[in-house]
Chain A
Amino acid sequence: MRRFCLLFCWLLCSATSMADEPHTIAVITASDAALSASKSMTAEELNLIFWRKKLYWQGGVPIHPVNLQAEHPIRLTFSKTVLGNSPTEQTNYWNGLYFHGISPPYSVQSEEAVLRYVANTKGAIGYVDACKVDDRVKALLWISNTKISATAPEKMNCVTTP
């Protein structure tokens, strides 16, 4: 029985370490969003949106980007890949934009919160682990190994959590 317990713990640890590996990140908007222009989004446009340089979708709908909290590993990967630096290095920038009446993206605690925010807020855009994308949202771009692509990678490296 003890051997079985050890084996079970090892399997759990392995699953956890696999979960820590960098996953593909999906950039998402609401699945029923009337943001037809967003279908052809580029990495440069995504950069402008999350720097709050681009504030409106085509058609005049305000863009509401949403971030994961600053320490979240997916936020760190997204920030480094899309914006080129970490959230802590952006303090001066966001203070400067605040001075001009532009707030940084909303920040939420979990990927489920991102999914709900994006699904329920007109003009919202966010990002989650690509394995967590569901019917409520649609993926526009995928970020994998520091590359941003408009096509989904063949291998997602998804882990089913118990």
Chain B
Amino acid sequence: MKKRFILSVTSLLLLCKLAVAEEAQPPTLDSGLSIGGYSSLSIKAPRDSATELALDNLSLIAHWEGESRLKFFSELELEHPFIWNKDDHSTKKEANFDLERLYLDYNLSEKLNLRAGRFLTPAGNWNLLHAAPLVWTSTRPLVTSRLFPSSTNGLMLYGSVPMQNSAFEYTFFAETLKDQVHDDDEIRFRDVGGARFTFNNQMNLGLTLLTLREIDPHSPSYRLVGLDFLHKFNDLELSGEAYYRFTDSGQNGGGGAYLQSAYLLGNEWYALTRLETFQSPRDGSAERWLIGATKRLTPKQLLKMEFVGGTGGIPDEPRGFITSYSVLF
């Protein structure tokens, strides 16, 4: 009996010690260089053109941070390396490399950082998180891609300030070097500068203020004001952005908005809806609605299916059915 008692107590104590035995060694800091990226494969069935299967992009992200105040970041994207067209069974290779981002960050003080190089234009949520594995839909809201440049070459000052139960983030930036390489379908801008302020409370509110011109020599100088938000109510995520662009003389220079909902159905399936309106002197006006479903396969993989309808023909933004698989690695 005594032996059994000692055995029982020993077993219990061993169980108690299991947690200690599971200890992980503290991670050691490596050279500070990290490499990752993302990719997206899609099938597009537009209602007025042939179905296409495409490897949309393959992005390589490299960043370095040591024990100093300096950090480095770069993103090189291979765009459209493969497209297969169903109607003529042809494959197209429209591949081109795009240097999306390349910059150095330097910490000036606790609340102030300097960035120099090519960075994403700080305008709205979507532009700053546009990678396919980070957004709920395969298609991008029109208003987030046609009123301002997606990237800017220049200088940026940014930082975060703690506030009551939230944080205030600020960004000021100015273009110092014009874009050297362009896609044919890309709207080109110049003299870009402005600021973005975000208030990270429950609503995640953002305010964007920009000045810019289109590269066309006759383009007026534009001012742009944008508001964005992202809010979660239990299983529902609501997000939206609205922009209004006007000329120096106060004339309408385009604008629009989108409102999107993502509702968790269960088992990592999300129901999606989006309403959009858009108008610009260059593209005319368009309205879009979207209904779809997205499955989060893993924290870094999304499978998306959506149907886009609406009015107005915008190049490269067709209406129809789109499905895609995207991965962050």
Contact = CB atoms under 8 A, between A and B. Distances in A.
A92 interface: yes
Contacts of B181: none
A109 B167 contact: no
Contact of B16 (A56, A58, A161): A161
The listed residue with most A CB atoms (<10 A of its CB), out of B34, B160, B169, B200, is: B160
Contacts of B16: 161-162
Contacts of B129: 96, 99
A162 B128 CA distance: 52
Interface residues of A, number: 45
Interface in A26-68: 37, 42, 44-45, 47-48, 51, 53-58, 60-62, 64, 66
B134 interface: yes
Main SS class of interface, B: mixed
A150 interface: no
A55 to B, nearest CB: 7
A95 B298 CA distance: 12
Contacts of A61: 67
A146 interface: no
Nearest to A66: B26
B328 A98 contact: yes
Nearest to B202: A84
B67 A62 contact: yes
Contacts of A131: none
A75 to B, nearest CB: 13
A116 B134 contact: no
Nearest to A57: B110
19 contacts: A12-B12, A37-B110, A47-B167, A48-B162, A53-B169, A56-B107, A56-B110, A64-B29, A66-B26, A95-B328, A98-B328, A99-B61, A99-B129, A101-B71, A101-B73, A103-B34, A108-B26, A109-B22, A117-B26
